[in-house]
Amino acid sequence: MDSSDPLDDFLAAKPERTWRKPKLVLKALREAYTYGVPVLQMKGHIDQMVEHSSYSFVCGTPDETLRRIVAFLLTNCESNTLSSTLTLLWARGGREDIVTAGILLANIDHASLDSDVWGVLGGLVRKTEPLEGLLFVVEELYRAEYGSPDDDVLLDWFGGSPIHSGLALLCVHAGWVRSGREPLTAHLRGAVYEMDVGESDGLLKRVCDQLLQAQ
C-alpha cells in the first residue's frame, strides 16, 4: 500500500538489487532528488547557481529531503556499497550529490572507509570545488562531533593545491568558532597569514580576514 509521501513511495518501489549496486544507487538518487524540489522553485535561480559555481547540476532539493534520502540509504545499503556510492556521488558533482555525500560521510560506518573522515574528504576533493558545498560538508562533520583535523593534516593541506588550502582554511575557521574562538597555534596562524585568498570579497577572504583580525 502506498504511503502519503511520494519520496517514500519512490524509494520503497525500487527493487532490492538497486541498493546493492553503487551505480544503480547513483541513478536512483538522481531521480529521488526531484521529489523534494519545491513547486515554486525558480528555474532561473537554479541556472544561476550552476553557472556561478562548479556544480555539475543543481536540482534545488532541500537539505532536509537529502537527510531523509541518506537515512533510507543507511538502512537499506551495505557499508561497502555506501562507501563506493560516496565516491561516485562526489565525482558526479551535483549540488545534491555533494550534500548527500557529506551527510553520508558523517554517518557511515567508518570501519568501511580507508581512512578517517578528514582523510577521506581530503582524498575526495578535485581540482575545483564549489566552496559552498565544501563548507556544508566541513560543518556537517563538525556537527557530527568528529573534531578538527590534526594540525599536521591541516598544514599539509595548506601546502597543497589551492582547493586543499581552501579546505584547510574552512576547517580551521569552523574549529576556531566551535572552540569559543581560542587563539590559533603559531603554525596554523602562520599558514593562514601566508594563504593567498585574492582581493575579492569572496568566502575565503572573509574567513581569512576574520581569523587574522581575531589573533
Averages of pLDDT over runs of 10 residues in the chain (215 residues) are 82 98 98 83 58 82 97 96 96 98 94 85 95 96 95 97 97 96 95 86 91 92
Q: What percent of the chain has pLDDT over 70?
A: 91
Q: Number of folded domains in the chain?
A: 1
User: What is the pLDDT, as a whole number, of residue 1?
Assistant: 47
Name the residue among 113, 199, 203 with its Cα closest to residue 167: 203
Decide if 92 is inside a domain.
yes
User: What is the pLDDT, as a whole number, of residue 209?
Assistant: 94
Task: Give pLDDT tens digits for 159-179.
Answer: 999 999 999 999 999 999 999
Q: Which residues form the domain of 63?
A: 1-115
Decide if 71 is inside a domain.
yes
Decide if 90 is inside a domain.
yes
Sign of torsion over alpha carbons 178, 204, 124, 65: positive
Decide if 205 is inside a domain.
no
Task: Give pLDDT tens digits for 25-42.
Answer: 999 999 999 997 876 555
User: What is the pLDDT, as a whole number, of residue 111?
Assistant: 78
User: What is the pLDDT, as a whole number, of residue 184?
Assistant: 95
Decide if 142 is inside a domain.
no
Decide if 48 is inside a domain.
yes
Decide if 195 is inside a domain.
no
User: What is the pLDDT, as a whole number, of residue 50?
Assistant: 58
d(Cα 96, Cα 39) in Å, to the nearest integer? 17
